[in-house]
Amino acid sequence: MIAAIRISQTGGPDVLKLETFDPGPPKAGEVRVRHRAIGVNFIDIYHRTGLYKLPLPTGLGLEAAGEVEAVGPGVSRFNAGDRVVYASGPIGAYAESSNVPADRAVAIPEGIAFDIAAAVLLKGLTAHYLLRRTYPVKPGQTILFHAAAGGVGVIAVQWAKRLGASVIGTVGSDSKVEIARSLGCDHVIVPARENIANRVREITGGKGVPVAYDSIGRDTFMATLDSLAPLGLFVSFGNASGPVPPFDGALLAQKGSLFFTRPTLMHYVTTADELDAGAGELFDLIRRGDIRIKPPRRFPLAQAADAHRALESRQTTGSLVLVP
């Protein structure tokens, strides 16, 4: 039997309950991972509130790092004792251990601690596909990245700077401005007291940006549209403030023949090769110190609700992990 956080109804953080259950042995193609650190991601909040629907009751969480403690039939990718991290489920990472398809996990290189691996894989793979594949950022371009001091933001801002971009970041409060600057943001906007689109126009000499990465959703939708240069790309990859409202496609024409995409990591990492390539690049950048990751804020597994409260009330910067 193992302890796990599970929900039997959607709602606020109080629906997260610590329970015990038997996950059984790993099936063919699976490994059992004994978790040492569990990544907390905003998508876990969407699952908890029901914005993204899951069949109930269910576990929660997509990401964890730990040791392989048992190997199912047919697995050659890992052996017992290997250090691994996974970031695309199956749902239920908020637990002492989990059975995971071996081809969804990657080896953790030497020199990367479990809590760092659990803090960066999902968010780093996201930064990778956003900046390298959804819109390949080129040197000298100015880009807009919202929630620049958040989990994905901390990695994406540093990665964009490595790619030679100039970065305009937004943060929710003055206390996060210095953090965004220390990551490399060339300009930091605090939307609570500044007009995002006006500032972006000012910074870009009236042109607007060729790409804007928006994970805030409802609250920033219009401002992000108004920040784009003609033919610019709106990358809507999250809904921290609520989903983007339905809109008329003609709006994209009016605002400058804009493009709009709503990507999700799952479609960018469909094979073990894609996973290994993205993770390899991410871990190399971290090991070389080109992307600096502070030790994540830690919460005991049993206090997952507190981690959710901190994340959804915008009190956090960087990543959070749960520790079983």
Contact criterion met (CB below 8 Å) for 213 and 240: no
Query: Which residues, 6 or more positions from 74, have their beta carbon under 8 angstroms from its beta carbon?
Result: 28, 29
Q: What distance, in Å, lies between the first and last C-alpha atoms of the chain?
A: 14
* Under rule CB under 6 A, residue 314 binds ligand NDP: yes
Residue placing its CB nearer to ligand NDP in the complex, 56 or 192: 192
Spell out the SS3 assignment of 160-216: HHHCCCEEEEECCCHHHHHHHHHHCCCEEECCCCCCHHHHHHHHCCCCCEEEEEECC
* Under rule CB under 6 A, residue 123 binds ligand NDP: yes
Residue placing its CB nearer to ligand NDP in the complex, 33 or 196: 196
Buried b (16+ CB within 10 A) or exposed e, 287-319: eeeebebeebbebebebbbebbebbbebebbbb
| Residue of 37, 183, 265, 322 interacting with ligand NDP (CB under 6 A) | 265
Q: How far is the CB of 76 from ligand NDP (least distance, A)?
A: 29
Binding mask 226-255 for ligand NDP (x = CB under 6 A): -----------xxxxx--------------
Q: How far is the CB of 37 from ligand NDP (least distance, A)?
A: 15
| Residue of 15, 85, 95, 147 interacting with ligand NDP (CB under 6 A) | 147
| Residue of 149, 168, 183, 322 interacting with ligand NDP (CB under 6 A) | 149
| Alpha-carbon span 296 to 319, nearest angstrom | 5
Contact criterion met (CB below 8 Å) for 151 and 44: no
Q: Tokens at residue 47, please?
A: 């699952």
Residues 74-113 that bind ligand NDP (CB under 6 A): none
Residue placing its CB nearer to ligand NDP in the complex, 233 or 265: 265
Which residues of the shown chain bind ligand NDP in the complex (CB under 6 A)? 41-43, 122-123, 126, 147, 149-153, 171-172, 176, 215-216, 219, 237-241, 263-265, 311-312, 314, 316
